[in-house]
A and B are shown apart, each in its own frame.
Chain A
Amino acid sequence: MKTHVSTVVNGDAVEFLCSPSDTLLHALRNEIGLTGTKEGCGSGDCGACSVMLDGALVCSCLVLGVEAQGSQVETIEGIAHQDKLHVIQEKFLEHAALQCGICTPGLIVSTKALLEENPAPTEEEARYYLAGNLCRCTGYDKIIKAVMDAADVMRQGA
């Protein structure tokens, strides 16, 4: 038996059907068609499926789709405004903070959450906040540089 779920994703009202056992990650990717959110582990250990759920940064593989009923979900697809990239996205590109790019959506969602919570993180704070986002390509160096640079620019803009 599938359950009907009404939710808001990136500001758009969305309705979908899912089994109560389906995760939000599954619903986003397979029911709503938003494949920008990636699955790396399915157990909350890699952060590739990071999304915002009612203002909290979560792994969408550790949320049931039915829990999204009446919630606000934000995914990587909602971060740029049409063709205008968010500063964080621009800085990831400028600093070559991605190689293969599979962890990038999750990292950008997490970085946005970090900078909304703490607009002036130290490098160490950024590294700990983002510890749940695994990247196997970059060694994190350029990611952290992109995050710190984005934080600077966002503070100046604020």
Chain B
Amino acid sequence: MSEAREYQHIGQRTIRPDGFDKVTGKANYGADLSIPGMIWGAILRSPHAHAKITSLDVSEAEAHPDVFAVATYQDFPSVNAEAVAAGTARKDLFDTAANVLADTKVLYHGHAIAAVAARTEAAAQAALELIQVAYEVLDPVLTIDAAIKDGAALLHDNMMTQGLLEPASAASNIAARMELKKGDIDLGFEAADIIVERSYETPTVHQGYIEPHATTVRFDDNGPSMIWCPTQGHFDVRARVAQLLNMELGQIKVVASEIGGGFGGKTTVYLEPVALILSKKSGRPVKMTMSREDVFRASGPASASQSKVKIGAKSDGTITAMQASLHYEAGAFKGSPMGPGCMTIFTPYDVENMYVEGFDVVVNKPKAAAYRAPGAPQAEFAAEMAVNELASKLGMDPIDLRLKNAAKEGTQTIYGPKLKTVGLEACLLAAKSSPHYQSTLQENAGRGLAAGFWFNIGGQSSVMIHLNPDGTGSIIEGSPDIGGSRASMQMMAAEVLGVSPSTLNPIVADTEHVAYNQTTGGSRTTFATGMAVIEAAEDIVDQLKARAAELWNVTPEQVDYKNGVAYNLSSDERLSLAEICAKAEKTGGQITGRANINARGAGPSFAVHLCDVQVDPETGKTDVLRYTAIQDAGKAIHPSYVEGQFQGGAVQGIGWALNEEYVYSADGVMENAGFLDYRIPLASDLPEIETIIVEVPNSFHPFGVRGVGETGIVPPLAAVGTAVSEAIGLPITSLPCSPPKLLELIMKRG
């Protein structure tokens, strides 16, 4: 593909097709569907962080006249019937089941135990009081240190650490260990003139989507049962529920409602299987919603972490060795993003010798879920802080140090492949010449810079494009639109077909009306589903040429198609797309393009962020003065939404760095389960978030697209952390940089 390619629609700032409904209140989100005859479900949650359930008696609730059904773990047929001996996938299923309704133990405060469906929401809540649970309370394990120390209470009696060099001999709270290496780390440190070594920690944080989880379901014995829910992946909801309830995929239809934010947190199931059990048992449609408190207590936080980083370099700034040991909290069940953390931590650097080991540790907190570049912000925070410390010790500009060691085309990653063309150097150079970096720093302020990397993924997408007899059409896709992706699908199809984007209506179809699509996650939608849209549109172009050829009585090779018009190369005849559609009846019927792909070649995305802060020396309060996000988008299909991704990621990262954290009591109760005390950034907390879109095309995508959604949350932790370090003159090693923590540092400094 050519970089100088001229586009008609790509790169424009069109109005999103779903916009009208979303600014007028017409768009239907998770909690917005009600069905005649519907009853309400509610969930009883554990008051303890760690306890054995010694008895569970739901008979009184079941007997109540307002109650139609009660569900417990025993209602999962597949889990209940079979031993847990089977393979990993089954074990994960076991975890999912025991997370949505506890089995014999409760593993975090807020862990679901039983569910009730009753005539009204209030009746369902009231009926929960009728359920009798007896507990044997156990010591809560709330930190990595507490989980891995000798004699720690075990969350899972049979959990043996996977990935050890020798098979584990005793159960442990460490679910897994992994290591990655490249070169010879010892030789690397021997070659170093200077070594920086430090430990860092990050807190448990929440994705903080504004829409709580919600679902409305209708079990149907005679046809597909329906699940309506806000999810990033309705096909995965279908698969999970089918596995848990021992149903075939064809027996379940999942409708993805509009989704009020997810950021990775809506890639699993919580309410859906429970609601379907209640619906099956009651014979009625069931609606369930989580309160905000439930969302904090029982849905996907992102893992807290502890990281040790050691970096060696020559005095000229050549980095010779990078080493890290990373611990991630998985929450109550194994599966923290320790893997991607290990893989991403040093990828911005082309360094010969690297060694990373990671540990996945269970603790009595909700099971961690994906959060925007899962695992990378925690790990790269540690690496970038240490690199900035190295720059400072070497007396080098942090951009120059990074440019000297930057990953580029051909760099061997620690996790396997060599990098293809990437945009890190371009981002660093853009940062260096940015108005922000050129500006003078205010008095008492600090400036921080950090790089960030995320892989991005491709995967399976399925798309159909139907054309109408008047030339308008619809794009049937299956990627829930979480931030404007319908607009980019419309633009890409319009670009290929040479028509106005507004003539094509993108529809996120349910699981019955389009073939399988992977979850909206991994920054894959504009890349992979976009690729399928392009392929489906190209399929249409081929058909349009064939139809025109038939009308002209020539071969398709004698037809050219450009900007929405077919040209007869052997005469001056031409037919527009609309004209061909109008005559489709005479040439074999209507026209549908389709594509079912497994997209490869997702281009990794690098970003560089700049942050200026001021810290009040008397209170420890940090103000963000200026912020710039620079990132390689490959090609920005809709620049406004690309900028929006950069800005949104940056601000989530700023929140993570400054104020967000789960605060636990000694007995494991989250004390700030609400937006009042779990403090996400407000409009008044922030300056403008400046953006620079760098475009280093991804050669695997027809338009050069790289995913852009996730990388933007990776650099802010260290950009803010470094700026705060500079402002107070002390190293920051622990997030969040909350006022009490900073004030304590400042007072100690004197």
Check whether chain A touches chain B (CB < 8 angstroms): yes
Interface of A toward B, CB cutoff 8 Å: 19, 29-30, 34-43, 45-46, 48, 75-77, 79-80, 85, 89, 92-96, 98-105, 108, 124, 126-128, 130-144
- A46: B residues at CB distance < 8 A: 210, 292, 675
The answer for the CA separation of A119 and B138 in the assembled complex, in Å, is: 59
Residue of B nearest to A46 (CB): B675
- Please state if A38 and B29 are interface contacts (CB–CB under 8 Å): yes
Q: Is there an interface contact between A41 and B24, defined as CB atoms closer than 8 Å?
A: no
Complex: how many Å from CA A100 to CA B266?
A: 13
**Among B19, B29, B484, B650, which residue has its beta carbon within 8 angstroms of that of A139?**
B650
What chain A residues lie within 8 Å of B484 (beta carbons)? 96, 98-99
Closest 5 CB pairs of A and B: A36-B25, A102-B260, A139-B651, A96-B640, A101-B22
Q: Mark B19-33, 1 if CB is under 8 A from A, else 0.
A: 110111111110110
**B684 in contact with A41 (CB, 8 Å):** no
Q: B263 in the interface, Cβ–Cβ < 8 Å?
A: yes
Query: Among A34, A38, A89, A128, which residue has its beta carbon within 8 angstroms of that of B260?
Result: A38
Which of A34, A77, A144 makes the CB contact (< 8 A) with B683?
A144
**Contact (Cβ within 8 A) B683 A102:** no
Given A43-B674, A43-B675, A100-B483, the answer on whether A131 and B25 have CB atoms closer than 8 Å is: no
Determine if B258 is an interface residue (Cβ-Cβ < 8 Å): yes
Nearest CB of A to B342, in Å: 28
Q: Is the CB of B648 within 8 A of A101?
A: no
Give Cα distance in the complex from A76 to B20, angstroms.
Answer: 12
Q: Chain B at the A interface: mostly helix, strand, loop or mixed?
A: loop
Distance in Å from the Cβ of A38 to the closest Cβ of chain B?
7
Interface residues on B, range: 35 or more
* Residue B688 interfacial (CB < 8 Å): yes
Closest CB in chain B relative to A87 CB, distance in Å: 11
Q: Is residue B208 contacting chain A, with contact meaning CB distance below 8 A? A: yes
B24 and A136 contacting across the interface, CB-CB below 8 Å: no
Task: Decide yes or no: A43 and B292 within 8 Å by CB, A77-B25, A134-B210 being known contacts.
Answer: yes
A50 to chain B, nearest CB (A): 11
Contact across chains for A134 and B675 when beta carbons are under 8 A apart: yes
Indicate whether B715 reaches chain A with its CB closer than 8 angstroms: no
A137 to B260, CA, bound (A): 9
Not counting A127-B686, A139-B652, a sample of 20 additional A-B residue pairs whose C-beta atoms are within 8 angstroms of each other reads: A40-B212, A40-B292, A93-B19, A93-B20, A94-B15, A95-B640, A98-B23, A99-B261, A100-B210, A101-B258, A101-B260, A104-B22, A131-B685, A135-B210, A135-B683, A136-B263, A138-B644, A139-B650, A139-B651, A141-B689
Known: A100-B209, A137-B261. A89 touches B23 (CB 8 A): yes
Distance to closest chain A CB from B651 (angstroms): 3
**B680 part of interface (Cβ distance < 8 Å):** yes
Question: What 0/1 pattern do residues 258 to 274 of B give for CB contact below 8 A with A?
Answer: 11111100000000000
A sample of 17 cross-chain residue pairs with beta-carbon separation below 8 angstroms, ordered by A number, consists of: A40-B292, A41-B674, A45-B292, A85-B23, A93-B20, A99-B645, A99-B648, A100-B261, A101-B22, A131-B683, A131-B685, A134-B680, A136-B207, A137-B644, A139-B648, A139-B681, A142-B647
Q: Which A residues touch B682, using CB under 8 A?
A: 127, 131-132, 134, 140
Please give, as numbers and ranges, the residues of chain B lying within 8 Å of A124 by CB-CB distance. 684
User: For B25, what are the chain A residues with a Cβ–Cβ distance below 8 Å?
Assistant: 34-37, 75-77, 105
Q: Evaluate contact between A138 and B647: CB separation under 8 angstroms.
A: yes
User: Which A residues are CB-close (under 8 A) to B640?
Assistant: 95-96, 142
Nearest B-chain residue to A99, judged by Cβ: B483
Q: Quick check: A139 and B689 within 8 Å, CB to CB?
A: yes
B165 to chain A: closest CB distance in Å?
Answer: 42
Within 8 A of A (CB), among B284-325: 289, 291-292
Contacts of A140 in B (CB 8 A): 651, 681-683, 686
Alpha-carbon distance between A120 and B647 when the two chains are bound, in angstroms: 25
Q: Nearest chain B CB to A73's CB is how many angstroms away?
A: 13
The answer to whether B29 touches A102 (Cβ under 8 A) is yes
With A43-B674, A101-B22 already in contact, the answer to whether A136 and B647 are too (CB < 8 A) is: no
Q: How far is the CB of A143 from chain B (nearest CB, A)?
A: 7
Q: Are B680 and A98 in contact (CB under 8 A)?
A: no
Instruction: Please give, as numbers and ranges, the residues of chain A lying within 8 Å of B483 by CB-CB distance.
Output: 99-100, 137
The answer on a CB contact under 8 Å between A42 and B291 is yes
User: Which residues of chain B from 1 to 60 have any CB-CB distance to chain A below 8 Å in the complex?
Assistant: 13, 15-16, 18-20, 22-29, 31-32, 34
- B310 to A: closest C-beta gap in Å: 34
Please measure, in the bound complex, the distance between the C-alpha atom of A82 and the C-alpha atom of B27, giving whole angstroms: 15
| B689 neighbours in A (Cβ, 8 Å) | 139, 141
Q: Is the CB of B683 within 8 A of A143?
A: yes
* Bound Cα distance A92, B688 (Å): 17
Q: How far is the CB of B526 from chain A (nearest CB, A)?
A: 13
Q: Which of B683-699 contact A (CB under 8 A)?
A: 683-686, 688-689
Decide: A141 and B647 in contact? CB cutoff 8 A: yes
Q: How far is the CA of A64 from the CA of B299 in the complex (A)?
A: 29
Residue B152 is within 8 A (CB to CB) of chain A in the complex: no
Interface contact B34-A30, CB-CB below 8 Å: yes
CB pair B210 A103 closer than 8 Å: yes
**Is B23 a contact partner of A92 (Cβ separation < 8 A)?**
yes
The answer to whether A43 and B676 have CB atoms under 8 Å apart is yes
Write out the residue numbers on chain A whose beta carbons fall within 8 Å of the beta carbon of B643: 96, 141-142
Query: Which residues of the partner chain A approach B675 to less than 8 Å between Cβ atoms?
Result: 40-41, 43, 45-46, 134
Give the docked Cα–Cα distance between A92 and B21 (Å): 12
